[in-house]
Amino acid sequence: MIGIIDYGAGNLFSVKNALDYLGFNNFITSSPDEMREADKLILPGVGAFPDAMKMLRDAGLDGVIREEASKKPLLGICLGMQMLFEYGYEFEKTEGLSLIPGEVSLIYAPGLKIPHMGWSDVKTENSCVLSEGIEDGARLYYVHSYKADTDRKYISLYSEYGQLIPGLVFKDNVFGTQFHPEKSGEIGLRILKNFGGLK
């Protein structure tokens, strides 16, 4: 059973619809007890890093997420991925969940439009269980102005948009996608299927 975390800043129903399509039992929850009962967790996110972290803290969910991430697979999507890192610099320096080493900063892409929005090719840096079956050149859908700065050993897939953009990151049980797998067609669904199949 996959728990989709509702803290007020997530694109919940497109994620739920994708999981329903793939046949995975799932539910939307803001309950710490239900999050503990889930086999896996997904942390979606849209909006600004400081606002989303405040919502998580105010709901008392930040500590639960850290606790559960040590026991079961966790997938952060878009802003949810960014919050997995130690700090974000959107408007102000804000502490993240510190589940993956690194920080989140504004994309530096002179001559290119920000936000980075649309379909981009991905390349493999390191294989991981979520990127199995994904070939270099596969196209995935992004909408973001900030990107992760992290050691390349934590990057599975990346795109290039003026600079290296980590697309899929991982550490232990924790995974994050900067692109939206639920909006990325068959390739995105394969990533969600790989996550749903984790034990």
Q: Would residue 116 show up in a list of annotated catalytic residues for this protein?
A: no
Question: 173 Cβ partners below 8 Å, 6+ apart?
Answer: 69, 70, 71, 72, 73, 74
Q: Measure the CA–CA gap between 187 and 15, rounded to whole angstroms.
A: 14
Beta-sheet strands, E only, within 6-68: 26-29, 40-43
Distance CA 186, CA 139 (A): 10
Q: Given 68, 78, 125, 144, which residue is catalytic?
A: 78
Active-site residue (options: 68, 125, 128, 180)? 180
Give every CB contact of residue 89 below 8 A, 6+ residues apart in sequence: 49, 103, 104, 105, 106, 146
Determine whether 160 is an active site residue: no
**Phi, psi for residue 28 in degrees, rounded to 5:** -95, 135
Tell me, yes or no, if 180 is annotated catalytic.
Answer: yes
- Active-site annotation holder among 68, 90, 125, 182: 182
Catalytic machinery residues: 78, 180, 182
